[in-house]
Amino acid sequence: MEPASRLDHNYELTIKDFPYIIRWRDDRCKRCGRCTAVCPMLSIEPAVVVQRAVRSEGLTPEPKVVRKTVSVVRQTSDIGRYCTGCGTCTLVCPNDAIEPEYNPQHKFIFHKNRGGHPYRRGGRRNDPQPGTLDRLKFTRISMLTDPALDAGRHEFRIRTYLGRILPPDELPLKVVNGRLDVDKTLTDFIPPVREIYPVMIGSMSIGALSPTMWEGLAMGITYLNEVEGMPVVMCSGEGGMPARLLKSRFMKYFILQIASGYFGWDEIVRAIPHMVEDPCAIEIKYGQGAKPGDGGLLMAHKVLKLISEIRGVPMGVDLPSPPTHQTKYSIEESVAKMIQSMSMAWGFRVPVYPKISGSRTARAVLNNLVRNPFASALSIDGEDGGTGAAYNVSMDKMGHPIASNLRECYLDLVKQGKQNELPLIASGGVGKKGNLAANSAALFMLGASAVSIGKYIMQAAAGCLGDEYNRCNVCNIGKCPRGITTQDPKLYRRLDPDNVAERVVEVFKSLDVELKKIFAPMGRSTELPIGMSDGISADDPAVAERLEISYAC
């Protein structure tokens, strides 16, 4: 009898178990080898097989069996090298001979924990269903008594404020000869406020992003500010910024992020005396929507020379940020002290605000901030946000959708009469289905003062391949086939920063037009429709009830 060990194939996987199956066409393939060379996961490999063929060469049929050795492209069934469906092979194939196909019957998640290591990845939540934001429509359209504004002709001012806003009865004003003057005798603290474009690029670090991607984004927003007159800002993410940039006049377009790892902050602190411009704001990261309650991680293979210099760490080591600011006792203490010290570092001239994950505890944080006069805003990142590296279980199953989380926070502020004092910044799945303007406008109407985007801009400006079917999503291993989230020069040279910058500008200019097309028929032009909740309806009564908006079917 055969030994059991040779009969037992139960620990091997078939290609059908994988989320993507490579469709390779023998007849079209010219064996150039480009697909196998470019595959970031090494999921396909050249192989040699012996094929049996029946042939007849004479005048009369005389079938003969021949065996010949041929080279093929084979998909591996090694789960460590699974096909992510990125489709880079298709991109490089000269003859359309290869493409990955999604396999809805896959059993990948049952097996991707070999060695006791849970499945880790980057990217987005694996949920192809439309989020709540895509279930909202703008239903209050001006018609007869109230004609719509003209998006093309009327003047629009799509701007928002970042920073703590003093309530009107606390303004340092006095009436002198029928005119309001600022009362200079008062020495009360006046918080700094910035006027910015209401859609900002969220925190993605130099390190998580490739140098070309980050440079492209930075150039894009600079162009938007200086040429197009659109004050779009972006957040640095954790890990600091190049010293030259810190000391440049461009600093005002950036929000510096400090997270629990404090990476890059030695360099930043050293640069403060040499800064010619204050940063737009400081964001203190406490959580991230894609993996709430989890820390950050920049893996060793991404920590190359440039990154190690910016972050002030050795090359080639893992850089984990803990899930909490370890030097502080509690979130309340941490928030208060961090905000205070960051404000002080820039002479109280820069807005400082925390970023938290969408969570049922968000209101507790919010109320804590409401009582802190130095807190400038609250950024809430919902569960549909993306990340460079996380455990799959965290990404798929942890977190709170942004729509209801933001709404309850806003209504909480309304109850206290503080709705204009502490701006709420919302993010997490904005533009998940491509509807960036509609999703952003819906969030404004639910109460957001500004919106942060990450995945959308990567997808739109650099052609990120990832999706909610676990396509690609290998931002964590430094093998990004587009060159967006990698530090490998061979990969990031695929991305031209000028093209990224151009796309960033295109995205924001078209977003601006689309926002006008939404705001104009609703009669809003001078200010953002923040909290204009009568403007939207949900197609689900339960959603409508939860968000305290109307239901339309």
Partner 1 sequence: MCRLSAITSSEYISPMENILALETMKEGHDGSGMGLLLKNLGGEFEELKDYPILSGICSKDGLHALDSYMDNLGFQLKYTWTPKIKPVKGVERRDYYFARAYEYPDAFREKGIEEREALLMSTRIALRKMGEGDESIIVFSFYPDIIALKEVGDPLQLGEFFGLDTSTLKAKIILAQGRQNTNYAINLYACHPFFIQGYGSMTNGENTAFIPIREFLTSRGFPGYMGYNSDSEVFTHILHYTCRRLGYPLTYYKDIITPLKTSEIETRPDSEATEFLKISLRPLCIDGPNCVIGFTPDGTCFMVQDSKKLRPGVVGGVKGKFALMSEECGLDRAIPDRERSNDIFPMKYDMVVVSPGAEEVKVWNQLQGWTTTMS
Residues within the interface to partner 1 (CB under 8 A): 142, 145-147, 149, 154, 157, 161, 165-169, 171-173, 175, 178-182, 193, 195, 414-420, 522-527, 529-534
Amino acid of residue 392: N
Q: Which is nearer to partner 1, 4 or 175 (CB)?
A: 175
CA dihedral 410, 548, 136, 432 (to 10 degrees): 40
66 vs 173 by CB, closer to partner 1: 173
Instruction: Look at residues 306, 362, 375 and name the one whose alpha carbon lies nearest to residue 334.
Output: 375
User: Shortest approach of partner 1 to residue 218 CB, angstroms?
Assistant: 25
Asked if residue 283 lies in contact with residue 203, where contact means CB atoms within 8 angstroms, the answer is yes
The helix (H) or strand (E) run that includes residue 517 is helix 497-519
Report the sign of the C-alpha dihedral through residues 153, 155, 161, 166, in that order. negative
* Minimum CB distance to partner 1, residue 477 (Å): 45
**Calpha distance 213→495 (Å, rounded):** 7
CA-based nearest residue to 40, from 78, 83, 4: 83
Tell me the closest approach of the beta carbon of residue 542 to partner 1, in angstroms: 21
Minimal distance, residue 362 CB to partner 1, in Å: 20
Q: How far is the CB of 179 from partner 1 (least distance, A)?
A: 5
Burial letters 219-243, b for 16+ CB under 10 A, else e: bbbbbbbeeeebbbbbbbbbbbbbe
Closest distance to partner 1 from the beta carbon of 369 (Å): 17
Closer residue to partner 1, CB minimum distance, 165 or 356: 165
Nearer to partner 1, 7 or 227 (CB): 227
The encoded tokens of residue 233 equal 């800002």
Q: How far is CA 477 from CA 41, 216, 217, 243, in A?
A: 9, 22, 22, 27
- Rounded to an integer, what distance in angstroms lies between the CA atom of residue 382 and that of residue 359? 8
Please report how close the Cβ of residue 550 comes to partner 1 at its closest, in angstroms.
Answer: 11
Q: State CA 465 to chain mean position distance.
A: 14
The terminus-to-terminus CA distance of the chain in angstroms comes to 67
Residue 31 or 154 having the CB closest to partner 1 = 154
Contact assessment for residue 338 and residue 347, using Cβ atoms and an 8 Å cutoff: no
Q: Which two tokens stand for residue 450?
A: 């500004």
Contact criterion met (CB below 8 Å) for 3 and 92 = no
Residue 70 or 173 having the CB closest to partner 1: 173
CA–CA distance, 109 with 126 (Å, rounded to integer): 11
> Nearer Cβ to partner 1, position 142 or 340?
142
Q: How far is the CB of 451 from partner 1 (least distance, A)?
A: 17
Give kind and range of the element (H or E) at residue 45.
strand 44-55
Tell me the two tokens of residue 441. 């406008």
Could you give the 3-state DSSP secondary structure of residue 240? coil
**3-state secondary structure labels for all residues of 127-195:** CCCCCHHHHEEECCCCCCCCCCCCCCCCCCCCCEEECCCCCHHHCCEEEECCEEEECCCCCCCCCCCEE
For the CB of residue 509, give the shortest distance to partner 1 in the complex, in Å. 20
User: What residues form DSSP beta bridges with 425?
Assistant: 379, 450
Q: How far is it, in rounded angstroms, from Cα 450 to Cα 127?
A: 25
Q: Which is nearer to partner 1, 101 or 146 (CB)?
A: 146
Max distance between CA atoms of the chain, in angstroms, equals: 115
Comparison of 220 and 529: residue with beta carbon closer to partner 1: 529
* Shortest reach from residue 411's CB to partner 1, in Å: 9
C-beta closer to partner 1: residue 403 or 507: 403
Q: How far is the CB of 162 from partner 1 (least distance, A)?
A: 11
Closest to partner 1 by CB, 74 vs 418, is 418
Cβ proximity to partner 1: between 96 and 527 the closer is 527
Q: How far is the CB of 314 from partner 1 (least distance, A)?
A: 46
Tell which residue, 225, 282, 283, 216, has the closest CA to residue 250. Answer: 225
Residue 326 vs 526, nearer CB to partner 1: 526
For 79, the token pair is 């789960």
Q: Shortest distance, CB of residue 549 to partner 1, whole angstroms?
A: 10
Q: Which of 128, 129, 125, 135 is nearest to 543 (CA)?
A: 135
Where b means 16+ CB within 10 Å and e means fewer, 476-509 reads bbbbbbbbbbbbbeebbebbebeebbbbbbebbe
Shortest CB 155 distance to partner 1, Å = 8
> In this complex, which beta carbon is closest to partner 1, that of residue 253 or of residue 265?
253
